[in-house]
Structure 1
Amino acid sequence: MAFVIRTGRADLAFDGLRSEFGLPEAFPADVLAEAEAAVSRSPGDRPDFTSLPLVTIDPPGAKDLDQALCVLRDGDGFVVHYAIADLGSFVTPGGALDTEVRRRGQTIYLPDGNVPLHPTVLSEGAASLLPGVVRPAVLWTFTCGADGVPTSVEVRRALVRSVAQFDYATVQESFDAGQPHPSVEALGVFGPLRRELALRRGAIELQLPEQEIELDGAGWKLVIRPRSEVDSWNAEISLMTGMAAASMMIEARVGILRTLPDPDAKAVGELRKSAAALGVPWAADVSPGAFLAGLDGSSPEALALFTDATRLLRGAGYTAFDGTVPEVVGHAGLAAPYTHVTAPLRRLVDRFATEVCLAVSAGEPLAGWLAEALPLLPSLMGASDSLASKVDRASLDLVEAWVLGARVGEEFSAVVLRAGEREGEVFVAAPPVLAKCSGERLPEGEAVRVRLVEADAGERRVRFAAV
C-alpha cells in the first residue's frame, strides 16, 4: 500500500497504517454502554489503603496509569507497596467489553494517538490511578531484606489514592538534586540492589538505541529516548512483581507465564566469536548477561554486540497451565520465571494473571470463566504482540523515509551493526535510523561513512550504501 505524504506533515500516513493493519476505529455501542455502567459500579468491601503515599511514574502526559508505588525503608530492609489498576472490578466476564478486549489484546500505539485496549472512560478515567482520587486497585506488598530479596509477599484488592503523578525526567532530576520525593527516596537504594540481583541471576539486557517519534511542528521527527536510572529502577519493581506472581502460579500449578527458552550453546558461541573479532575481552566464567552489562553502550563495538545478542532472546511466548507445571517456566532475559501482571489497562493477559494470583493467595479455586480463559490467552496475546510489533516497525520505517526523503545522495556517519556478504545493517545517529546498507564485507562494529541511496515513504524503505 502506498501513502501520500504531504510536505511538512505525516498524519495521513498513520491513517493509512490503521487501515492497512485493520485497527479498530471505535468501540461498539454495547461495549461503550457496558464500560459507562461499570464506572458507577461499587468496588465492594475492600481494605482502605488510601493513607499510603503512592505516586505514579510514567511518560509525560500519560493518562492510562497502571501502577503506583511507594518504597520505604524498614530498618535495614525495605517495604515496597505496588498498586496495580484493578480491571477485574470493571470488566464482566463474558460480557461485551470482555469480548472486545479479548479481540484487541493490547493498546496499539501510533505517533498520532493510540488504539486503546479499553474505552478511555476506563483506561484514562475510572480505572486509571490518577492522582488525588480513590481507586480500586490490586495492591502488592513486598517485605524485603537488606539485599533486596522479598521475604514475604502479599496481594489483595484494596482502595488506594495516588498523591502525585510524576514523569521519569522529573524524578531523575529530583534524585540528581538530592531531593527525591519521600515515596521514592528509598528507590535510589532498592533499585540498584534489584539490578545487581538481576546480573547475578544472569539476566540479559540489550542496550540498543530506542527510537521514538515526536511531533516536529506540523510533522514528525525521530529521536533516541535515553533511559535514565529512575527508568531502570522503576522497571525493577514491575519485574519483581511479575516474578513473584510467576512463583505463586508455579507453586499452585496453575496460571500463565511469559516464557523465553535459554539461549542455546551455538548462539552464545557465535556471540563470543563476534566479541573476539571486535577485540572485546570476555572472560570464560562471565555470563552473557554480565558481559553485555559491562559494555559501554555508546561504543560502536557494543552496538554491534547488542545487535548480535538478539539471537539469545528468541522464542518468547505465553505458556498456560493447569495441574501440571510446564517443562519450560523461565524467561531467559530475566533468568527467572515471570508473568505479566502490572499493565492491565494496556495488556489483556495481565487482568487474567492477576485474577489467578488473587485466587491463589486467598486459597480459593479459579473461577470457571478464568480457568476456561487461560488456554486461550497464549494465541490471543501472540497475535496481539505480532500486530503491535508490525505497527510499531511500520511507523518507524515510514517516518525514517519521510525524514530522509529530501536527503538522498547525502553522506552520513554510521555504525555497522550486522555484516553480511553483500548487505548489512547500520545505525545512523543523526537522524537516528536503523537501515540496510549495501557493501561487501562491511566492518561489523566499526564506524563507517554511508550514502543514502533510497528513502521511499510509499514503500516505507530506507537504504544506504557504503562509501
Structure 2
Amino acid sequence: MTAPGASQRGTSEERTGRSPRTSGSTWNPAGTAGWRSPRWPADLPGGPDFSAIRAEFDVAESFPADVLAEAEAMAAAPPLPDVDATDLPLVTVDPVGSRDLDQAVHLRREGAGYLVSYAIADVGAVVRPGSALDAEARRRGSTLYTPDRRVPLYPPVLSEGAASLLPDEVRAAALWTIRLDGDGDVRAIDVRRARVRSRDQLAYPDVQGQADSGGLPEAIALLPELGRLLQARAGGRGAIELGTPEQQVEHGPDGGWTITVRGDLPVEGWNAQISLLTGRAAARLMLDGGVGLLRTLPPPAPEAVEALRRLAGPLGVDWRDGATPGAVVAALDPDRPAHAAFLEEAATLLRGAAYTPFDGSAPAQSGHGGVGAPYAHVTAPLRRLVDRFGTEVCLALAAGRAPEPAVRAALPELPALMAASDRRIRTVERAVVDATEAELLRHRVGEVFDAVAVDAEGTRGTVVLPEPAIRARCSGPLTPGTAVRVRLVEADVERRSVRFELVA
C-alpha cells in the first residue's frame, strides 16, 4: 500500500484527494484496468468502527459555528467575475458520485495543435486569507476520505455546493487556456477569473466505456489522443508513473466492509495528464515571475536506480541498456505478481516529495523527479489547501501584477501545514485498512493462504493475498515476486495487526 494524497499511485499527483484505498463506493467493470478480489464480508454488523479511528487521530469532523456562518454567507451570494465564459461547453470527469468538483475541461484542435480549456473551482473568490474559513482550512490541510464518510476541507455548502463546478450551474473559476503544438509542447499559457457553466458531470467508468466504443462527448473527444501524447512526452522527460494496484475498502450491501485491489482505468491516466499539464504551466508562471510554491521531488538517487536494476533480472523484468526507470516501469503489467513486486520496490525512487516556496530567485531544487519537470499544485483547491494559494499566485502573475501580500506571506507557512495534513491522512488510512484486514481475518488464525511475496529484508518481508486483498508482514525467507503459502498467526482487531508466517 503506497502513500495517499500526494502521489496516490506512483507520481499521479493529480489523482489526489480521493483515496483509492478508503473509498465508500466501488466499481471495476469487466474488461477495465486492475483486478479485485471476490467479496469477503466482515461478519460483525457494520464492521470496524471508523469513527473511533478518526477520533483517535483528532480528525475534526464538524466545523466551528463561525466557519459555518461565513460559508453560508458566501454560498448565499458568491461573487462572480466579469469575464463570461459560460458559452464554453465544459464537462467534469470524476469518480462516481463525486460532489466536490474542482475541474471542468474542454479540448479542441487548433491548427496542427491543441487548445486545452481547464476551469478550476475559484475557491479564492469565497475564502479570503485571514478569514475564519481560511484559518479552519489551514488546520485541516486536505479533505480526508474514510469508507463511511468524507471529512471535507471546506463546509459542504461550499465544497459540494456554491464553489463546486456542478453541471448547469454558473460558477466562478480560474480558467486556464493552454495552447499546445502538435508534439504536445506548450506554446502559450493564460489563466484568468471567469464565469463558467459545466454541461455535464461524467464518471470515469462511463467515459472509459465511451472511449472504448468511440462515442466520447465532443468536449473530451480528444482526451485519449492528447492523453496518450502527453504520457509519451512524460516518458521522454524521464517521468516515473507507477501503476501499482492498491487496496480499497468497500461497503457492501450486507452492511459489512471488505478490501479489494484495483488499478487505474486508462481514462484516469489521460485525465491526470491534463491536470499535470496545468501544474507544469503553473510552475512555469511561478518560475518566470520569481514567486510561488512548487511541488518538488529530487531525481532518483543513482544507488536507488542501481538497486532496482539488480532486481529486474530475478523478477523477469526487461531493463535494456539505456532505458530510463520510467520507461521500464511503463512497460510492466501490474497484474503479474513479479511485475507487481518490482513496482513495489520502484516506489523507493520517488521519496522526498516536498512543497518548496520561493520569493525572488528560484530554488536550487525546482523540479519534480516523477513528473520530469517543474510542477505546482493548482487543480484541486476544494480538496487541498495549497492549490488555492498557488492559483492566486498564478492569477496575479498572468495579469502582470504581484500576488497579494497576504498570499505571498502564506507561502512559507504552507509546507509545514501540508506535511502535518499528509501525515494525518496516511496514519488514518493505514489504520482504516489495518482494522478492516484484522476484522476480515480474526476468525481464521491458523489457516493457510496463497500469497505473493512483494518485498523481503532478512527473515521478514511483505506478502499480498489476492483473496481477500490483504497486504501484511510475514516471517520467513521470502523472495520478491514468488508465489508462496503462508499461515495466519495473528489477526488482532484491537491492535489492528495482521501477521503471517511462511509455510515450509
Report the TM-score, using the length of structure 1 for normalisation: 0.96
Range with greater deviation from structure 2 (395-404 or 370-379): 395-404
The whole-number CA distance in structure 1 between the counterparts of 2:238 and 2:346 is 14
Q: Deviations over 1:280-306 (max 9, x none)?
A: 331220001101111222212211111
Picking from 396, 405, 428, the partner of 1:359 is 396
Partner of 1:178: 214
Give, in whole Å, the separation in 1 of the partners of 2:403 and 2:122. Answer: 17
* Whole-angstrom distance in 2 between the partners of 1:178 and 1:410: 48
| Alignment of structure 1 residues 232-251 onto 2, 5 Å | 232-251=269-288
- Find out whether 1:286 has 2:323 as its counterpart: yes
**Structure number with higher relative contact order (C-alpha < 8 Å, ≥ 6 residues apart):** 2
The one-letter code sitting in structure 1 at the alignment partner of 2:370 is G
What is the rounded CA distance, in whole Å, between the counterparts of 1:444 and 1:12 in structure 2?
A: 31
Deviation at 1:410, TM superposition (A): 2.3
Q: Deviations over 1:145-170 (max 9, x none)?
A: 11122211110100001111111000
Secondary structure at the residue paired with 2:219? Answer: coil
| Deviates most, 270-279 or 315-324 | 270-279
Q: Output aligned runs, 1:149-164, within 5 Å.
A: 149-164=185-200
Q: Give the aligned partner of residue 264 of structure 2.
A: 227
Instruction: Report the residue type matching 2:362 in the other structure.
Output: V
Gaps of 5+ in 2: 1-40
Identical columns (%): 51
CA distance in 2, matches of 1:60, 1:30: 32
Partner of 2:502: 466
Q: Does 1:267 align with 2:304?
A: yes
Please say if 1:369 is aligned against 2:367. Answer: no
State the shift of 1:402 in Å: 1.2
Match of 1:318 in 2: 355
Q: SS of 1:22's equivalent?
A: coil
How many aligned positions are there? 462
Instruction: Tell me the CA shift for residue 226 of structure 1.
Output: 3.1
Q: Distance in 2 between matches of 1:45 and 1:275?
A: 54
In the alignment, structure 1 residue 422 sits paired with structure 2 residue 450? no
Q: State the secondary structure of the residue aligned to 2:457.
A: coil
1:305 aligns with 2:342: yes
User: Which of 225, 233, 236 is the aligned partner of 1:197?
Assistant: 233
2:379 matched residue in structure 1: 342
> For residues 429 and 212 of structure 1, what CA distance do their matches in structure 2 show?
13
Query: Taking structure 2 as the reference length, what is the TM-score of the superposition?
Result: 0.89
Matched-pair contact (CA < 8 Å) for 2:166–2:198: yes
SS in 1 for 2:393: helix
Distance 1:18 1:396 in 2: 13
8 A Cα contact 1:415 1:447, kept in partner: yes
C-alpha distance in 2 between matches for 1:42 and 1:226:
38
Number of the residue aligned with 1:53: 89
Q: For structure 1, which runs of at least 5 residues remain unmatched after alignment?
A: none
Give, in angstroms, the shift of residue 12 of structure 1.
Answer: 5.9
Are 2:485 and 1:449 equivalent residues in the alignment?
Answer: yes
Out of 249, 254, 257, the residue aligned to residue 291 of structure 2 is 254
1:405 aligns with 2:442: yes
Where does residue 431 of structure 1 map in the other structure? 468
426-435 vs 80-89, greater mean Cα deviation: 426-435
The Cα of 1:181 is off from its aligned counterpart by 1.0
CA contact (8 A) 1:81 1:142 kept: yes
Q: CA deviation at 1:6?
A: 9.0
CA displacement, residues 19-41 of structure 1 (integer Å, 9 cap, x when unaligned): 11001131110111111111133
For the Cα contact (< 8 Å) 2:92–2:200, is it kept in 1?
Answer: yes
SS at match of 1:183: helix
In the alignment, is the contact (CA less than 8 A) between 1:9 and 1:220 conserved in 2?
A: no
Quick one: which of 139, 143, 148 aligns to 2:179? Answer: 143
Cα-Cα RMSD: 1.4
- 1:283-335 per-residue CA deviation (whole Å, 9 max, x = no partner) reads 22000110111122221221111111111111111101101211001111111
- AA matched with 1:126: A
Using the TM superposition, give the Cα deviation of residue 411 of structure 1 relative to its aligned residue in structure 2, in angstroms. Answer: 2.1
> 1:391 corresponds to which residue?
428
Cross-structure match for 2:132: 96
Q: In the aligned structure 2, how far is the partner of 1:12 from the partner of 1:464?
A: 21
Which position in structure 1 is the counterpart of 2:368? 331
> C-alpha separation between the residues in 1 aligned to 2:107 and 2:244?
29
Rounded Cα–Cα distance in structure 1 between residues aligned with 2:157 and 2:109:
36
Q: Deviations over 1:384-441 (max 9, x none)?
A: 111111111111111111122222222222111101211111111111111111112x
- Kept in 2: contact 1:401–1:461 (CA 8 A): yes
Check if 1:18 corresponds to 2:18. no
